[in-house]
Structures are given as C-alpha cells and as structure tokens.
Structure 1
Amino acid sequence: MSRAATARGPAADRPDTDRPTADRPDAAPDPAPDLRHHGDAEVRGAAGELTDLAVNVRADTPPNWLKSRIAASIDTLAAYPDGTAARAAVAERHGLAPERVLLTAGAAEAFVLIARALPGRHPVVVHPQFTEPEAALRDAGRAVRRVLLEPADDFRLRPDAVPDDADLVVIGNPTNPTSVLHPADAIAGLARPGRTLVVDEAFMDAVPGESASLAERTDVPGLVVLRSLTKTWGLAGLRIGYVIAAPRTVDALERAQPLWPVSSPALAAAEACSAPPARAEAAHAAHRIAADRAHLIARLAEFPSIRVCEPAAGPFVLIHLPGADAVRARLRELGFAVRRGDTFPGLGLDWLRLAVRDRATTDRFVTALARALPGAHTE
C-alpha cells in the first residue's frame, strides 16, 4: 500500500461487531453499510454532466463490432433464446467442457443462485469486497459472517482468518474495491472437502495474463468461479456473465434459474466476446489499463494526504483520504463522480474508489481534486 500501511478507516478501528470472535463464533455481523449501493448511483440522473470515475465499466465500450453482433441478434427475437452455442464458446475459451459452464444474467444473478441453491449453514464473506454476495445470502435467510481484511496488511488475504467451520466462502479476485490481486494458491488453499469456495473474478480479464485466475482449475474441491462480461465490454445494461464449476454444482444452479434467463442479445455477446479476436482485444486493453492505472497512481502521489492501496491490479484504485466524503461532494460540483467507500464493510467515510480512465481524463481529474481537497484555494 503506497504510504498507506498505517491508514485505517473508521470501520477498521470501531468496536468490532462485524467480525466473528472466539466467544461469538456464530455472531451475525452488523449489516449497517448499505449493501445495495452501487457506483451507478453516483451518476444516475446526471448523464453528460459528470465525468464518471465511479463505475468500473471500461470507457468507450462496447466496440462497434460487438454492437453489430448484438444488433444482428434482434432478428432472432421471435424465437426463445438458445444458449448452446454461447455456452460452448465460453467453455472453449477456458478449455473446459460445456457441462462446467452456466450462463447468467450478469454475475449478480449468479450470487442469487448460489445463495438459494447451494448448501452452506455457515457462510462467510471476505470483505471489503463487492456487496451483492452478502446481500443475496441475507435475502435467502442466511446468517452471514464477515472476515475483514486489514489496511495494515494491505488488504491481503490471511487464510487463517477464515473460520474453520465456514462451509461457504466468498472472495473477490482482483477484489472490488481494494484492487488487490490475491495469489491463486492462497485462494485455492481455502478449499477443503465440504466447503463451497466462491471466487468472484469479474475483473480478472483486466489483469494482464489473468495471472491469478482459478477459472480453468478443475482440481480445487468445491470451487465456483464467477465471471462477468459487463466490465471489459461495457455491457452492464445487457446483463451477461457466467459460472464455472463442477457439473453437479452447475446443475444445481441451473435448476434454480427461471426459464430462458439470458436473452438472445446477451447470448450473442457472450459468444462474440469469447472468440479469439475478442480475447486478443481484451488482453490489449488489460495492458492499457495497467499503464493508465500507473499514471493515475503517480498523479495521486502528488498529494501527501492521499494514500493509495497498492499494489493495485484492477481497473480502479482505492484511496484513503481524511474528509473524503466532503471531497467527494466537492468533486461532484466540479464535474467528477467518484465512488464512496463507506458502503463497503471494513471501510468508512475516509475511503474512495476511483475508476481508471485515460491519461487526459486523469489529468483533468487531478486538477479538480487539487481544488476539492481541504484547504485548497479556489476562485
């Protein structure tokens, strides 16, 4: 973590109702953070008025070739969706049998299916991370325990922090919002007989070489990997993602789905984005994102009050900044939307998440940030 090893948000320092302890092994965590808040809330109703650094969808997407493939699928809308070809394409992209793949209406649907269809009397969610998995588990009546990773540890995974009796564990990699990429072996080490290990890899295709992915591993017991096509390809409104798991697990999840859950346009997108040319384009974009992220981090280093969570691996960075909530409001007045951090368990009002954009946008943002910081002299 860049100058941030000692930075601790309010959630990290408060009396701990969010963590299981030896004398409270079954304590349900305080659900105080708004688990339903997402980055799009920062820009909703302000289209064209704000530069969006709050939503982690790659800018200037979907590309024209993908728009054309989706548009062509409209001619098939009189027929019910058939996911056979898309499922096979996704499976081939990962070198797996189609029986190990389930297409979903975005990764968010997969969290709901997991909460409803897979066993687990003692679910644990590793935070800070995307909040939908916990929200889905709670909606399904599960008593969720939280394992909070520490800023003093650079939000790195400590496998021994996960309770031994946890029979369903959810973790993101790279993690939203921290941008931490956990080593594949560290996450695989959480697996054990009788435990379902859910790994959210929604941003893994933004990592050059997908170096820590478990998507193609078939030797990890109980492994369920989730992928999204909405981030890299700009398809949040289309809703398309997929699950990779053992065939028996895929069958259980599929039985919990409604009929025809993925639309024909979304299936066309899944097939197109799994093809070799699209994979090459995504790989190129991952390297560009890494370079743009390095530029953002370098510019943020100009401000002594800002501490960046590093090393960052996703298309976003997490920063600690005293008074961040007020800075976020001021940035909005100056034309920039950023993601608040206090809705993520384990963080607080002094944290912000910033999406990685091109260098020109970053430079404009840094100019606005200089004006928004406490003590700045503005005209």
Structure 2
Amino acid sequence: MSALFGFNTRSSVRSAATVQPEKPLSLPYELRTEMNWLDFSGTANPLGTPKAFIRAMHTALVDGELSYMPDRSAHTFRATLARKYGVAPESFLCGTSVSDMVRSVAQTYQPCSVGVVSPAAPEFMLAVANAGHDVVELASPHTFVVPDVNTARERGLSFDAAVLANPTYPTSRLLPRQTLENYLEACSWVVVDESLIELTLGGESMIPLIDRYRNLIIIRSLSSAFAMPGIPISFCIAHPDTIAQIERFFDNTGLSMFAEVVGAHVYNESTEYLERTREFLDTEIPWMQCMLNLIPGIQIFPAEANFVMCAFDYAAPMNLAVANTSELVLRLQLAGFLVRKLEGMPGIVGGKYFCVGVRSREDNEKLLSALREIVIGAR
C-alpha cells in the first residue's frame, strides 16, 4: 500500500500514517486532579460543560439508567438531531469519536485513493489507511489553505475521494463552500469534519448540501462543542440512502448509554449556551491572536476557530530568553501551562510550530503573561 505525500514523493501509507506526532502531555486521572495546570492543548468549548448536560448525567447515575444497555440505533438521539436540523432521522448515524466515524465511512467504499487535507488531525490518515485506502496528502506547497481540487490535480495529485475539515485543525481555517462543491463534483465521496464548527467565527455548516450531493458525509461531535472531551459522542449527517449504505458496515457497539442520555438533551436546552459561546469567541479569538502576535518571536496564523496556530522563531538581534519552540513549550509546562507542539504532524515541516487553544479571558491572560515572561526573560 502506498500514498502520495506532498506533490512529488511517495511513501508507505502504513508506516507514514502510524508514526503519530508528539501528543499533548497526558497523565493518569488521579495525578491530573492533584495538579493545577491550565490546558491550552485542546479545543474544548471555553464555557465548560453545559449545566443541563451535567444534570442529565448525574440523574442517569442516580436513577440507575446506566445499568441498561444503550439503544444501538440511537432512536432518541437521532430524533432530537432531526428536530434540530430539520432533516429526517434517517439522515443520521451516531457513534463515538470523529476518527472512528471517518473510518466507518471509509470502510463502506471500495479501496481507492483518498485525499486527506493536510495539515490536519493525523488520526484521519490512519483511519483512512486502516479502511484499506491509499492516502493522498492534500497540501498546498506555500500556504496552509486547503487547495482547490482542480489546483491539486494540476500539480499532480490523483485521488478518487476526500476527507476535509471545516474548520481545519491546527490551521484554524474554515472551508469555503465553493471549494467543497468543487470536491463534491470531482470525487465519488467526500467526508467533512465539522466537529468544531460551533467554535468558529461565524462558520457556515455544509449540512444544507446533503440533499443535493449524496456523496457528501458530514461529521459532527458533541465532545468539543460542549466541553466533554472525556465522552466521545459523534454522528454522521448525509442523505438517508448514503447513511443506509454506511450502516450496513457500521459497528455500533461502541455507542454508550451516556450518549443516549446526553443526546436526549443535546439541542433542546443548549441554544442559549451556543449563542453565548459564539458571542464570547467573536471577541476572544481576534483578541487572542492580537495579543499572541505582540510577543517577541511569536508569529501567528489567521484563526477562524477557538485555537491559534503559532510559530516561534528565535532571532539573535532580539536577544530572547528561549532558543526554540521545544524549549518554549517545556518552560510553559514547568510554569503550569500546556500547549500543543505540532512537530511531526503531517503537513508541518520543522519544529517551530505550536497550537494554543482559546480559554476564558482570565486563563488567556495568565498564559500570555507567562509567555511574555518566558520569552523576554528577566531584564
């Protein structure tokens, strides 16, 4: 099995996809509860888990609801989603993590060459490869913007399907509708990860396109949108015929009772919560970009979601107190802050890049203060 990476080189997709980049520092639960780290390495909603969700989970524990096997067809969850989005319940397929849903979609189709947006979550490439496909890395040679399908093919990329993201992690860029439509016209099937769409600057969902394009499968998630990274709950949205096809090969045994409990409340009681999230991020994302860019040595990339991709370049004339990104990230950890270093991520060349999540204003100010102190040093 082989894969096309970049525009000119080929390598083993199995070896390339399974060499995962360095992951954020993670410790056993009992140790993390004893520490006071502020975690900026994730993408969870900065407002925290909605109280309605917490009450629903508490009630489920107290009333013994978790002693029952979950409904593997997720009838209640699908009915709630159908009311929210105004489409048929048969347009939904509920599961666990986003990468698991990508794999479930990919295994439905005959092996082919699948273009995967890059840079993006490396788990996407692994999911596609494990479903038996060849991976084609969709990366622009000079920018971090998703290349248009025609431009990609003019540069020598050949692929039959695609996995995109709206927004893309870690570049924090939204997917233009016209770019997606061009992929849909050119590919046999296209997956779009919209798990972070609620955490953007006015991001536009592509769900209205599912009736027009039966080859479009959108994946959404509750985990980041509602600050529940420890409870993976995701779902696919597509034309009912497409969902029925995917369901023939879908293993739904991973769906938990928590998903059923939370799913029953998910959009009935969360409208005001999501509105407050958008209002907060509309000011906090631009403010965070501006403040990060004012720190010597740090370059930011335009962000349209609740995380900012950055690069640290040591410049001798500036006489900075740290020499590179690895030292900067380590010093931040010692000061009690976790950010995600992007070294080794597909589509990221060099060790200077890292990603910072957007949290509350109070937490963001603490991180910025620590960054300035570390980078500038005592003078």
Interval containing the TM-score (normalised by the shorter chain): 0.7 to 0.9
1:70 aligns with 2:63: no
2:265 aligns with 272
Match for residue 170 of structure 1 among 135, 157, 163? 163
- Aligned-pair CA distance for 1:288: 0.5
2:87 aligns with 96
2:150 aligns with 160
1:109 aligns with 2:109: no
2:354 aligns with 352
Q: Name the SS for the 1:31 alignment partner.
A: helix
Q: Within 2, Cα distance between the matches of 1:295 and 1:193?
A: 39
Q: Name the SS for the 1:77 alignment partner.
A: helix
Q: Name the SS for the 2:365 alignment partner.
A: helix
- How do residues 21-32 of structure 1 correspond to structure 2 at under 5 angstroms? 21=8, 28=12, 31=16
Would the alpha carbon gap of residues 262 and 128 (structure 1) be closer, same or farther in structure 2, given more than 3 Å must change? same
- Aligned-pair CA distance for 1:101: 0.5
1:238 aligns with 231
- Aligned-pair CA distance for 1:172: 0.9
Matched letter for residue 356 of structure 1: V
Q: Which moved more, 1:163-172 or 1:125-134?
A: 163-172
1:258 aligns with 2:251: yes
Render the CA deviation track for 1:126-161: whole Å, top value 9, x for unaligned: 1001111101122233221112135x4352433324
Would the alpha carbon gap of residues 91 and 287 (structure 1) be closer, same or farther in structure 2, given more than 3 Å must change? same
- How do residues 1-379 of structure 1 correspond to structure 2 at under 5 angstroms? 18-21=5-8, 28=12, 31=16, 34-35=19-20, 37-39=22-24, 41=26, 45-47=31-33, 48-59=35-46, 61-74=48-61, 75-82=64-71, 83-150=74-141, 152-163=142-153, 165-192=158-185, 195-211=188-204, 213-217=205-209, 218-275=211-268, 277-310=269-302, 312-322=303-313, 323-347=324-348, 348-373=350-375, 376-378=376-378
Q: Within 2, Cα distance between the matches of 1:271 and 1:84?
A: 10
Please give the root-mean-square deviation of Cα atoms over the aligned residues, in Å. Answer: 2.6
Q: Within 1, Cα distance between the matches of 2:370 and 2:68?
A: 50
Render the CA deviation track for 1:103-128: whole Å, top value 9, x for unaligned: 11132220221232233411111100
Q: Indicate if the aligned counterparts of 1:71 and 1:265 stay in contact, CA closer than 8 A.
A: no
- Aligned-pair CA distance for 1:204: 0.4
- Aligned-pair CA distance for 1:49: 3.3
Q: Name the SS for the 2:356 alignment partner.
A: strand
Q: Within 1, Cα distance between the matches of 2:139 and 2:219?
A: 21
- Aligned-pair CA distance for 1:32: 7.3
Render the CA deviation track for 1:269-295: whole Å, top value 9, x for unaligned: 1231222x4133112202212311122
Matched letter for residue 79 of structure 1: Y
Aligned identity (percent) is 21
Would the alpha carbon gap of residues 70 and 98 (structure 1) be closer, same or farther in structure 2, given more than 3 Å must change? same
Would the alpha carbon gap of residues 118 and 360 (structure 1) be closer, same or farther in structure 2, given more than 3 Å must change? same
- Aligned-pair CA distance for 1:194: 5.4
Q: Name the SS for the 1:225 alignment partner.
A: strand
Q: Indicate if the aligned counterparts of 1:95 and 1:216 stay in contact, CA closer than 8 A.
A: no
Would the alpha carbon gap of residues 325 and 100 (structure 1) be closer, same or farther in structure 2, given more than 3 Å must change? same
Q: Indicate if the aligned counterparts of 1:27 and 1:145 stay in contact, CA closer than 8 A.
A: no
Gaps of 5+ in 2: 314-323
Would the alpha carbon gap of residues 219 and 32 (structure 1) be closer, same or farther in structure 2, given more than 3 Å must change? closer
- Aligned-pair CA distance for 1:36: 6.4
TM norm structure 2: 0.85
Q: Name the SS for the 1:166 alignment partner.
A: coil
- Aligned-pair CA distance for 1:67: 0.8
Q: Indicate if the aligned counterparts of 2:91 and 2:240 stay in contact, CA closer than 8 A.
A: yes
Would the alpha carbon gap of residues 320 and 33 (structure 1) be closer, same or farther in structure 2, given more than 3 Å must change? farther
Matched letter for residue 158 of structure 1: D
Q: Name the SS for the 1:190 alignment partner.
A: helix
Q: Indicate if the aligned counterparts of 1:170 and 1:197 stay in contact, CA closer than 8 A.
A: yes
Q: Indicate if the aligned counterparts of 1:209 and 1:283 stay in contact, CA closer than 8 A.
A: no
Q: Indicate if the aligned counterparts of 1:42 and 1:339 stay in contact, CA closer than 8 A.
A: no
Would the alpha carbon gap of residues 27 and 106 (structure 1) be closer, same or farther in structure 2, given more than 3 Å must change? closer
- Aligned-pair CA distance for 1:356: 0.4
Q: Within 2, Cα distance between the matches of 1:105 and 1:291?
A: 32
Q: Name the SS for the 1:128 alignment partner.
A: coil
Render the CA deviation track for 1:36-95: whole Å, top value 9, x for unaligned: 654464897544332110011124521222111122234323433221111011122111
Q: Within 2, Cα distance between the matches of 1:145 and 1:360?
A: 42
**Aligned residue-pair number:** 355
TM norm structure 1: 0.85
Q: Name the SS for the 1:232 alignment partner.
A: coil
Q: Name the SS for the 1:242 alignment partner.
A: strand
Q: Within 1, Cα distance between the matches of 2:325 and 2:18?
A: 17
- Aligned-pair CA distance for 1:186: 1.5
Render the CA deviation track for 1:320-378: whole Å, top value 9, x for unaligned: 112212211111111110001113211131101000012221221112112322xx334
Q: Within 2, Cα distance between the matches of 1:204 and 1:89?
A: 19
Q: Indicate if the aligned counterparts of 2:201 and 2:281 stay in contact, CA closer than 8 A.
A: no
Matched letter for residue 301 of structure 1: N
